[in-house]
Amino acid sequence: MHNFLPIAYFEDRFCPFKDANISIATHALHYGTGAFGGLRGIPDPQNPGRILLFRLDRHCQRLSTSARLLNYDLSPDKIQSVIIDFVKKNRPETSFYIRPFVYTSDLGISPRLHKVEKNFFVYGLELGDYLSPEGVTCRISSWYRQEDRSLPLRGKISGAYITSSLAKTEAVESGFDEAILMNSQGKVSEASGMNVFVVRGGMLITPGYDQDILEGITRDSIITVAKGLGLEVIERSLDKSELLIADEVFLSGTAAKITPVRQVETYILPTDRPLTQRLRDKLTAITEGRDVDYMDWVFPIEVG
């Protein structure tokens, strides 16, 4: 059961969430011609009456870039302005998630991006832990991550998530929590909606952009923070066998935050995860506005 925030932004105006409805003939519903973002917010633990959003500017820029892939000119400033007003109108009192979405809103039946109406909406819901903070089990999916030459993976295109959905259901229905997808070259790409990190010999390793991954904002944050802590970070191709013998494996994403992996296939991973915990503690401090070195990553909104 989802607890949706009461106010949505839909068709250039704010309205009750229950009234923000699209037609069954909507173009994007049929062809996956949409793109979405997702960002977290929390009430400021130190200042009642204030909401903190994590890396709002980066999320707005990525959604604007995704919109361009759909032949839609939507500026980051416009997205940011709507999201700020959205938060002020909803005044959430617990941890929450914002879902902005751009889409072809026409009622046509021709699959195209030219001469078709586009639009933009925003809604939100209360959200705690998306995955268990104690760790998840993963299987290697039989489904492969798409290639950028057939689908623009630099954007969060909604149609691409059919693969994620197939992989997630396959994993859960076979007794696991999450799926890890390989790319067409047989290398580790990402999970169903998260990036993948491995720790080996004190080094932090993650698939690079050339492995058909999404350009994750949480991923970028972890890499920046890890380097700031003096850790060695390597972005390269990653073999399946490296997951099985890793010292630590974790997933990262806006919803998942940093989620440890405790098992891959039948291989049980170590329960001692010092680097994962160190990065998780650091990221939590940043998102709560308690880390002076990363204050510019947190966007405060006065709602009191």
Q: Which residue numbers are catalytic?
A: 156
Instruction: Write the DSSP string, 46-90.
Output: SSTTEEEEESHHHHHHHHHHHHHHTT----HHHHHHHHHHHHHHH
CB 157 within 8 A of CB 66: yes
Q: Distance between CA atoms of 174 and 176, rounded to whole angstroms?
A: 6
Residue type for position 261: V
Q: Distance between CA atoms of 145 and 288, rounded to whole angstroms?
A: 33
Return the half-sphere exposure (C-beta side, CA atoms, 13 A cut-off) of residue 201: 3
Residue type for position 229: L
Alpha-carbon torsion (262, 253, 214, 121), positive or negative: positive
Q: Distance between CA atoms of 106 and 224, rounded to whole angstroms?
A: 41
